[in-house]
């Protein structure tokens, strides 16, 4: 490794792998290393099942769990929005050819101790059991406005007199349509996917765009706006790593990282044992630079192995349930996700549920109680409380660009925003998708 590179990337989590791919595609000479002997870091899917049990200091799983190689268990629960940033990145970079996806069957929201399907279009709004008859009509009118809304086209704002996307608040928009607090709750949390209520006092443009993303995603593949890759989320970093390798990136796993070498306040290399690779920039996750990040919060996540689907979801083999904060007297939402053997992540007949939220008290496990209750009997539960780190600075001065920890959101939109922001800080420009040569020796894709 005693060579000279433009960039060294440390850690093979999803963010680092996307960045590595973008840098290689842009013609940079990239060395990508990981201290682990597997790809994915925090965004790996653990296989075989005994590795998951070992990770949590438990004895090997019993035989009832089937072939342990059939399990690929994510550590961080997330889905892809079908019309979201990550899908765009996958398609534009061609990485999608290495992956197969399934649509998540159901999207539910919790209200008054029970769950209901999230209504996302006018037809669903009119049949939803979440609202009374008059409220349904008001909600339908609101949805029509949200779906037609365009940031840059004042003719789509006319329904609300005096509307300005930069100044009109979201609560003013809700007030215009006279929506009640329950409708506001599921709109903000299950459609716009906010984790708290700060958005109400902010300009409405961003929220309307989020609602549009939800309904456009739903329109794309049907049953729900969410997609999930077969064999687990750990396939995503592997796919982008392959992209980086195809464009010349060098990969080294199982490589201890001993020092990031600086000269005159700027990074000049990375040392592993007595080898040092020279570079002009380093891109990494927070675990490689504990002294350059700060803790800004915690996420609690429970991985639950089950032999049945979740009640009241029509036996869906995959689903998402959002428990809006207000329903359970919290400040942030609780997310429940379910995938199963049909996604090649569990042995035949098995399900993996995840319950997660942002930690608010000193008893995190109790905070996800309402989510765990929805699941029914759980065969095995693994609970983690993970700190969320943010970099202390933007990296431009020392040329060390650090990603943020994966947050509690249920999808990859914030992941992509972080990646695009890091790329921009590191290279001074936005990523140019036209640099991906689409038909690399491939005649029929």
Partner 1 sequence: MAQRTSVQRPSGGGQGKICQFKLVLLGESAVGKSSLVLRFVKGQFHEYQESTIGAAFLTQTVCLDDTTVKFEIWDTAGQERYHSLAPMYYRGAQAAIVVYDITNQDTFGRAKTWVKELQRQASPNIVIALAGNKADLANKRMVEYEEAQTYAEENSLLFMETSAKTAMNVNDIFLAIAKKLPKSDNSATGSQREGMTLRPSDPTPGPAGCCK
Residues in contact with partner 1 by the rule CB under 8 A: 39, 47, 87, 90-91, 96-103, 219-222, 227, 229-231, 235, 238-239, 241-242, 245-248, 250-253, 342, 344, 437, 440-445
CB of 250 to partner 1, least distance (A): 7
Two tokens, residue 208: 């309307």
d(C-alpha 9, C-alpha 15), whole Å: 10
- What is the nearest approach in angstroms of partner 1 to the Cβ of residue 148? 20
Minimum CB distance to partner 1 smaller for 385 or for 440: 440
CB of residue 255 to partner 1, shortest distance in Å: 8
Residue 183, sorted as left (phi over 0), alpha (psi -120 to 50) or beta, turns out to be: alpha
Asked if 353 and 379 count as a contact pair (C-beta separation under 8 A), the reply is no
Between 22 and 359, name the residue whose CB sits nearer to partner 1.
Answer: 22
- Could you tell me if 30 and 9 are in contact, meaning their C-beta atoms sit under 8 angstroms apart? yes
CB nearer partner 1, residue 85 or residue 327: 85
Pairing of the two strands 400-402 and 281-284: parallel
Nearer to partner 1, 224 or 358 (CB): 224
Cα–Cα distance for residue pair 149/171, rounded to 1 Å: 16
Least distance in angstroms from the C-beta of 285 to partner 1 = 17
- Does residue 308 sit in helix, strand or coil? coil
Q: How far apart are CA 324 and CA 331, in angstroms?
A: 9
β pairing state of 319-323 and 293-306: unpaired
Burial 16-46 (b: 16+ CB within 10 A, else e): bbbbbbbbbbbebbbbbbbbeebbbbbbbbb
Shortest Cβ 189–partner 1 spacing (Å):
27
How far apart, in Å, do the first and last CA atoms of the chain sit?
A: 35
Kindly tell me which of 2 and 263 has the beta carbon lying closer to partner 1. Answer: 2
9: which 2 tokens?
Answer: 């990337």
CB of 338 to partner 1, least distance (A): 17
Residue number with CB closer to partner 1 (99 or 160) = 99
Cα 333–chain centre separation: 15
What is the closest distance, in whole angstroms, from the C-beta atom of residue 247 to partner 1 in the complex?
Answer: 7
Q: Which is nearer to partner 1, 381 or 433 (CB)?
A: 433
In the bound state with partner 1, the residue whose beta carbon lies nearer, of 183 and 224, is 224
Alpha carbon 248 to chain centroid, angstroms: 27
What is the nearest approach in angstroms of partner 1 to the Cβ of residue 251?
Answer: 4
Calpha distance 103→221 (Å, rounded): 7
Closer residue to partner 1 (CB): 87 or 355: 87
Number of H helices, E strands in the chain: 12, 20
Kindly state the smallest distance separating residue 442's Cβ from partner 1, in Å.
Answer: 5
Shortest distance in whole angstroms from residue 109 CB to partner 1: 25
| Residue owning tokens 């800080």 | 425
Q: Tell me whether residue 91 or residue 392 sits nearer to partner 1 (CB atom).
A: 91
Instruction: Transcribe 401-425 into DSSP letters.
Output: EEPPPP-S-SBSHHHHHHHHHHHHH
CA atoms within 13 A on the CB side of 335: 29
């Amino acid at each position: 490794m005693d060579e000279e590179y433009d960039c060294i990337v440390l850690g093979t989590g999803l963010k680092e792998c996307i960045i590595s791919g973008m840098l290689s595609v842009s013609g940079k000479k990239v060395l990508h290393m990981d201290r682990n002997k597997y790809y994915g870091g925090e965004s790996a899917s653990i296989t075989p099942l005994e590795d998951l049990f070992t990770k949590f200091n438990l004895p090997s799983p019993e035989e009832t769990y089937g072939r342990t190689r059939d399990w690929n268990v994510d550590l961080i629960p997330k889905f892809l929005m079908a019309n979201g940033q990550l899908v765009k990145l996958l398609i534009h970079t061609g990485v999608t050819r290495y992956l197969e996806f399934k649509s998540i069957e159901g999207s539910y929201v919790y209200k008054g101790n029970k769950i209901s399907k999230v209504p996302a279009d006018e037809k669903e709004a009119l049949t939803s059991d979440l609202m009374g008859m008059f409220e349904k009509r008001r909600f339908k009118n609101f949805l029509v406005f949200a779906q037609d809304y365009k940031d840059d086209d004042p003719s789509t704002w006319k329904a609300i007199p005096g509307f300005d996307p930069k100044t009109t608040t979201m609560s003013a928009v809700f007030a215009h349509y006279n929506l009640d607090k329950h409708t506001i709750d599921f709109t903000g949390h299950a459609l716009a996917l906010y984790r708290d209520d700060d958005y109400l006092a902010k300009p409405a443009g961003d929220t309307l765009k989020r609602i549009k993303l939800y309904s456009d995603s739903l329109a794309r593949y049907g049953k729900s706006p969410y997609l999930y890759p077969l064999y687990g989320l750990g396939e995503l970093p592997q796919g982008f790593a392959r992209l980086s390798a195809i464009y010349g990136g060098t990969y080294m796993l199982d490589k201890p990282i001993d020092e990031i070498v600086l000269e005159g306040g700027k990074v000049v290399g990375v040392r592993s044992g007595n080898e040092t690779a020279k570079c002009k920039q380093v891109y990494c996750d927070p675990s490689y630079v504990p002294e350059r990040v700060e803790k800004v919060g915690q996420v609690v996540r429970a991985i639950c192995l089950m032999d049945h689907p979740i009640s009241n979801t029509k036996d869906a083999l995959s689903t998402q349930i959002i428990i809006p904060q207000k329903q359970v007297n919290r400040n942030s939402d609780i997310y429940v996700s379910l995938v199963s053997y049909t996604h090649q992540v569990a042995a035949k007949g098995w399900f993996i549920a995840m319950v997660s939220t942002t930690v608010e008290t000193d008893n995190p496990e109790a905070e996800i109680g309402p989510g765990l209750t929805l699941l029914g009997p759980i065969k095995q539960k693994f609970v983690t409380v993970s700190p969320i780190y943010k970099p202390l600075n933007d990296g431009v001065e020392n040329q060390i660009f650090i990603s943020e920890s994966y947050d509690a959101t249920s999808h990859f939109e914030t992941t992509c925003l972080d990646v695009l922001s890091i790329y921009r800080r590191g290279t001074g420009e936005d990523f140019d998708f036209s640099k991906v040569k689409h038909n690399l020796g491939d005649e029929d894709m």
